Amino acid sequence: MKYWYCVLFLVTVLQVQAQGYWGKIEEREPTLGIAEVYQKFNTPAFQLKLVKASQTVAWLRPVKDLAFDFTPSDRLEIRDKDGLYHLGDINLRIRSGEAAWKSYSTATKRGTVTPIETSGNVLAAADLANTLPADIPVSVKRYYESDGNDLILRFVISNTSTADIEIGALGVPMIFNNILEGKSLDETHAQNVFFDPYIGMDAGYLEVKRLSGHGPALVVLPEENMPFEAYRPLNDDPTPRSIVFEGFHEWMVYSKAYAENEWKGVHPWNTPTSLVLKPNDSKSFAVKFALAEGIEAIQTTLKNEARPVTTSVPGYVIPKDINAQLFLDYKSDVAALEIEPKGALKVKEAGTTAKGVNKYSVSGKNWGRARLTVTYKDGLKQTINYKVIKSEEDVVKDFGHFLTTEQWFDEPDPIFNRNPSVISYDYETKQKLTQDSRAWVAGLSDEGGAGGWLAAIMKQLVQPDKTEINKLERFVDKTLWGTIQYKDGPRKYGVKRSVFYYEPDSLPKGTYSDKIDYSSWAAWSKEHADQPDRSYNYPHVAAAYWVMYRLARYNEGLVDNRTWDWYLEQAYHTSVAMLEQAPYYAQFGQMEGSVFLYILKDLKLEKYAEMATDLEARMKERTDHWRALHYPFGSEMPWDSTGQEEVYMWSDYFGYEQKANVTIDAILAYMPTMPHWAYNGNARRYWDFLYGGKLSRVERQIHHYGSSLNAIPVLEQYRKKGDDLYMLKVGYGGLLGGISNITEDGFGPAAFHSYPSTLRIDYLSGDYGSGFYGYAVNTSSYLTKDADLGWLAFGGNLEVKGDVVEMDITTAAKSKVYFAPKQLWLTLDAGQFERIVYNTKTGELTLTLAAATEFTPKAYLRVNKEITLSYKQVREAFEIPLNKKSIQIKL
């Protein structure tokens, strides 16, 4: 039997279930009226097609590419039933006085709408009374309008009752084609879109982008009375949500009715509001659809549409020791700033740029979420959501302590032999997770189970701690080598799926909790758990050995149990074992797969020619396979966002520039930059709460491990280009997003829940270790200069004194600095940067290195360009003896 079939079982089950739901939808009676007549309209930028009976959107196509549709028109003949949302629908909750809220929707029970005579720029209009309940106390009229190159969707709501009414919820469903069901990777990248919300009130917008990252992008903007207050999942739409469909959402103007009920007790992104409409009063609500030439042109489109363009450096996750910069580019001056909670942020005016962009300094004072509300003099209100965290150094220190104390498992475990280890953890119950219906979560393998120990070891790469390393040495010798990984026999170097398994008939009574349902496919038997055929487990193990090699090789006395060469050889053999014992999944890009490239580079530096040649040849064979595919991002999932990291790194290494660029374009399509900490740099992921979370559901995850993993290729590509501020903002958003969910006491959760009914971390540690890997190997500082914004510091504090530019380094590792004006990439294998100073007049760059420590008497400096320094080179790095005080090096 091919055991990888079992791992695919859940995917297959979910797909079969989804197909079953699709079948049930298809069997229902059509009510939308698509069998009758359509109306088609052409504007300078769009081709709009409406279903005549409902006047909902049948398609929305850019004139420049009429073969492409932003809406799911390919499913129109199936989704033409009651209860399924379409672009053009509206949802309301209304009450009179203190009565209960009552919900109304144009999608619930379809009726033929009554056309309204049009003139001027109005393309089509209708009274929606026939598709709304008879007792609704308002009339709703809908208009499609042309406005230059743009398209406007407008609703006019009038109070037809004799009493005041309160509209406590008003939402416009944003129905675009993110249904991936039944499509190949080539088809999804050509035909489908993902969309990302900036929930920023009057300055809010929605980005709609093709999976390929190519072609025009759609930007949905507020046109009139349309603040983006909340973003609600439309889970009442029967379109089956699954690994191939994240679900639809609606743009909410008012959300008070939900805040009082389904979202009660949850702190929302924006203050929930409502509207009181008096008898005979009317109000117009409109959104605008505009096209951007490409994803990076979205910012230009906002500017052209006279919307605020916001830039925060280093982003919207602000460590407490950072002096962040905020730039507000808008036609109207700022009238007022409001901070919630009070005192959470300190914001000071800092003048304007040469082009008149308003500048502010921002610093975080209180840990947690913070909202900055900007009111402009023209009345426009913008909210910017920040997350204040401890200094990166303190975040990582607390994280390492939590992992090696609260998550440290060293209790007798004679059956599964998981001790000692860093095991999964339930933050809600404050308990180590020794049992779970998903075998891997309690079994120290796969992403959801290896997350704890992987994170603990990766933490040492950033911030070595001798006490923690001593514990992890025991884990490597007793649990990793020989329990998680086979140490002898035909499966030597193979990595088990899980060391925890469910086999009650062969084990003593009481082994398993009767409070856990072990009836699902995920409760693997010992035979299944022992299989070494899941390639995704191997990078975790290889990364552990690689980190221990680096610690032993470039420091003195940190690692005691093994020599550096044993660790490096183990990393090599683990890499090869993945290809030999898990060949099916190894054809895909692996999360953390960049570690194999780091291992190869170190094999070469150590002159391990035979191992290096072998590993390089094996990896080139995989990369050649990816090169032959249009979109080589497959995995066990029909679409995935975790293979891109490794695909990019190897494509770039072997000089396959076209494939590297294809990969970056695809990443930028699902990884936006916008003025909101939760979505800035957040690489899309929406199913892993099923596999590694406690609250299990299909839901857009906030800064799941995809954010920091995808930041690896994005920042690598930025360093190659050197002048693309958009890419730097995306990459750094993902990098800091990778540590944004770590709690104040150091717990690292799987991700943050985006549903407005939740808006909190998940309570399981789950697969966060993969995310911390991304942070650990990629943490770095960037000093760059923008033509208008001036000098900018990411990962440091900036000071400009005449001709001298200084950046004090604030990252946890302080080991990597990129100086953009000279495209210099400076990295330390040991030691720390304290500061870099650039003299713009002389061109001299001065590096300040921190003093020696007990375990680090020497620094090892690498520079990506040929330079001359008076230090000997060891393994192509400058070996720099450190002193009791900081030293300076001039380049």
* The pLDDT of residue 35: 86
33 or 656, which is more confident: 656
Q: How far apart are CA 373 and CA 310, in angstroms?
A: 13
User: Which residues pair with residue 764 across a beta bridge?
Assistant: 426
Whether the pLDDT of residue 9 is over 90: the answer is no
Neighbouring residues of 529: CB distance < 8 A, sequence distance ≥ 6: 439, 443, 496, 497, 498, 499, 500, 501
pLDDT single digits (tens) 21-38: 888 998 899 999 888 889
Q: Residue 15 — pLDDT band, cuts 50, 70, 90?
A: low
Percent of the chain with pLDDT over 90: 95
Q: How far apart are CA 395 and CA 319, in angstroms?
A: 9
Whether the pLDDT of residue 12 is over 60: the answer is no
* The pLDDT of residue 20: 78
Which H or E element spans position 458?
helix 446-462
Whether the pLDDT of residue 276 is over 90: the answer is yes
Whether the pLDDT of residue 8 is over 70: the answer is no
* The pLDDT of residue 5: 37
3-state secondary structure string, 691-749?
HHCCCCCCCCEECCHHHHHHHHHHHHHHHHHCCCHHHHHHHHHHHHHCCCCCCCCCCCC
Tokens of 535: 């390639």
* The pLDDT of residue 640: 87
Segment 681-708 shows an average pLDDT of 96
* The pLDDT of residue 599: 98
CB 307 within 8 A of CB 226: no
CB 179 within 8 A of CB 192: yes
Whether the pLDDT of residue 16 is over 80: the answer is no
Is the backbone peptide bond immediately before 583 cis, with ω within 30 degrees of 0? no
Residue type, 180: L
By mean pLDDT, which of 29-38, 169-178, 237-246, 646-655 is the weakest? 29-38
Segment 371-390 shows an average pLDDT of 98
**Count, residues in the chain:** 891
Whether the pLDDT of residue 443 is over 50: the answer is yes
Q: Residue 473 — pLDDT band, cuts 50, 70, 90?
A: very high
Segment 320-330 shows an average pLDDT of 98
Whether the pLDDT of residue 796 is over 70: the answer is yes
Segment 459-488 shows an average pLDDT of 98
pLDDT single digits (tens) 523-535: 999 999 999 999 9
CB 827 within 8 A of CB 836: no
Of 377, 388, 499, 366, the residue nearest 442 (C-alpha): 499
Task: Give the angle 232-236-241 at the CA atoms, nearest 5°.
Answer: 85
Segment 839-866 shows an average pLDDT of 96
Q: How far apart are CA 190 and CA 48, in angstroms?
A: 20
* The pLDDT of residue 637: 79
Whether the pLDDT of residue 3 is over 50: the answer is no
* The pLDDT of residue 17: 61
Tokens of 47: 């081709």
Mean pLDDT of the chain: 96
Q: How far apart are CA 407 and CA 748, in angstroms?
A: 11
pTM, entire model? 0.96
pLDDT single digits (tens) 478-501: 999 999 999 999 999 999 999 999
* The pLDDT of residue 722: 81
Q: How far apart are CA 223 and CA 108, in angstroms?
A: 26
Tokens of 710: 């995808």
Whether the pLDDT of residue 448 is over 90: the answer is yes
Segment 176-189 shows an average pLDDT of 94
* The pLDDT of residue 4: 35
